[in-house]
Structure 1
Amino acid sequence: MLDRMTHPDASRPLNVRTSTALITGASSGIGESLARRLAAHGADLILVARNEARLSALAAELRGRCHVQVHVLPADLNRPGAAADLHAAVQARGLNVDILVNNAGLGSYGEFRTQPPAEIDRMIAVNVSALTALTRAFLPDMLARGRGRVLNVASTAAFQPGPMMAVYYATKAYVLSFSEAVAEEVTGSGVSVTALCPGPVQTGFQAVSQLHESDLLSGPARLTILSADEVARLGVQGMLRGQRVVVAGRLNRVQTLLPRLLPRAVMTRLIARVQARRH
């Protein structure tokens, strides 16, 4: 299955207790759960998101409960140059990032022709541009040290086109393709790259993206909905093992195989039908 595709460097384990993990989108949802999971493993953290108050509260909790160092770096990854500024801020503090978690992401539901251009630009900036720039910024240092992990949060949306969420699906397809390609490039280096592909998760993301209006969550064809904590558990487990692709949820894993079995046009029409607004 897809989540068993293991990187050749999986036999070179990473000592999480001596590692520092940078997590974007860490103030809620999967990002917050990933932060909790890595702190429980003993990793020091660098928490990144726009909401400084929520990051600071989480940092205080994890310092007290897990006895790890937690740094808070508020940042809006939609802003041009944000990734470079974040990398500079980490360097200025004398920190080494051993685990990079690109979790921050935006989504929007509706026909492409009706979506505001600024909304489209934000999705591409955060889901694609920032993720790419952060990976490019931190990966060379990992390679120089001969150790590291990159976890890019994609989606089961990455496996097929998504009418009614065209840009979101396309950005996640990019994340999956990009992650697999870079994972191959760094083979034998002691560094691995993992794409985590959850389906719908019990977070606030559905409300923000209006995905609750889709039959994907409420109709007879609804996808398996996991908790953010379960997705984080599977993601961290797969990342530390060096797996290249982790699809969270058994039914979700089966559904990612459908695009290989059905003609592309048929699959796209099926997704459009399932995604359609309910009347």
Structure 2
Amino acid sequence: MKKTVLITGATSGIGYEFSKIFMENNYDVILVGRNLEKLMELEDFSKKKCVRAYIYKFDLSLSENIDLLYKKIKTEVGKVDILINNAGIGFNGEFNEIDWQKQLDIINVNIISLTKLTKLILKDMINEKEGKILNVASTGAYQPGPLISVYYASKAYVLSFSQALREEVKDRGINVVTLCPGATKTNFSKRAGKGDLDVAMSAEEVAECGYKTLMNNKAICIPGIMNKVLVFLSKVSPTTLNAKIVKKIQNKAISKK
């Protein structure tokens, strides 16, 4: 029997690549996103791979949609073997100048929806005594983020939450992985109001790293040598220095819009 993976933020970037990777590896998929055209495109791809794709168009910034999504999955699909919490949004600029609703949406999508969906799916995994969860954080989780402060803070939450949860459930047959990509060539950069950095990796490369880490039951994936070096340096450098460096990088990214 095929295993089933639930992927949020499936219609672009890393989530889109995750969707294809799992289908290519004979998984049925539950795909959640806001772009119906892209969801249908992935559904067509599933037919070519002889797997089943269940598509759900949902806005995960609305907490009530998480409960509705979960109920639909339980009724229409059943068991979720793997959860990929990929949905995420961000906007950059000075904190006091960004619209409050945009900042609230970051918190609702990156933190609230991820946590709530994890709680609902995890209960079923614990009952089954098996399961895998991958939460997408960021290299930004390791440092403060001037000009992108709420987004970086939300990813710091994801990293801390995921590492703690991994320790809680590792003896129950459940593996929790954190994926921490750096700059990635996705539509996210456009939505965040910044241009792609020269060192950006492809979404496919990032998703491949996450998939391999998940299958090998490792704790964390930081794709690319450069990103690993940057994370190491952020751990040994003063926080104030890290903040200055990030601010400079963000200014450069914004200038490329």
Q: TM-score, normalised by structure 2?
A: 0.95
Say which of 4, 7, 10 aligns to 1:26. 10
What is the correspondence of 1:38-117 to structure 2 with a 5 Å cutoff?
A: 38-63=22-47, 65-117=48-100
Aligned to 2:149: 166
1:262 corresponds to which residue?
237
Displacement, 1:105?
Answer: 0.5
**Aligned partner of residue 26 in structure 2, secondary structure:** coil
- Partners of 1:264 and 1:201 lie apart in 2 by 24
Match of 1:6 in 2: none
Letter in 1 for 2:221: V
Size of the aligned set, in residue pairs, is: 254
Structure 1 Cα separation of the partners of residues 93 and 244 of structure 2: 16
Distance 1:278 1:225 in 2: 16
Alignment of 1:9-20 (within 5 A): 18-20=2-4
In structure 2, how many angstroms separate the alpha carbons of the residues matched to 1:71 and 1:260? 41
Matched residue SS, 2:171: coil
Which one scores higher on RCO, CA 8 angstroms, separation ≥ 6? 1
SS in 2 for 1:217: coil
2:207 aligns with 232
Q: Which residue number in structure 1 is paired with residue 120 of structure 2?
A: 137
Query: 2:187 & 2:243 partners in 1: Cα distance?
Result: 26
**2:197 aligned to 217, 224, 227, which one?**
217
Pairwise CA distance, 1:94 = 4.2
Percent identity, please: 37
How far apart in 2 are the matches of 1:230 and 1:255? Answer: 18
Give the stretch that moved more between structures: 23-32 or 262-271: 262-271
1:100-134 per-position Cα deviation (integer Å, ceiling 9, x unaligned):
00101001010001000000011110011000000
Gap runs ≥5 in structure 2: none
1:77-117 Cα shifts (integer Å, max 9, x gaps): 01131111111110111411000001010010100010000
CA contact (8 A) 2:166 2:175 kept: yes
Give ranges in structure 1 of 5+ residues lacking alignment.
1-16, 219-223
Distance 2:9 2:162 in 1: 18
Deviation of the 1:204 alpha carbon: 1.0
Q: Give me the whole-angstrom Cα distance separating, in 1, the residues matched to 2:57 and 2:64.
A: 14
Give the letter for the 2:170 counterpart. T
Q: Which amino acid aligns with 2:42?
A: L
Amino acid at match of 1:256: V
* Structure 1 segments (4+ residues) deviating >3 Å: none
How many angstroms apart in 2 are the aligned matches of 1:72 and 1:146? 26
Counterpart-to-counterpart distance in 2, 1:274 and 1:100: 32
1:246 to 218, 221, 224: 221
Report what 1:221 is aligned to. none
Aligned-pair CA distance for 1:155: 0.8
What is the rounded CA distance, in whole Å, between the counterparts of 2:209 and 2:185 in structure 1? 15
CA–CA separation in structure 1 for the residues paired with 2:139 and 2:200: 12
Q: How far apart are residue 278 of structure 1 and its match? A: 4.0
Tell whether the 8 Å contact from 2:63 to 2:112 is kept in structure 1 after alignment. no
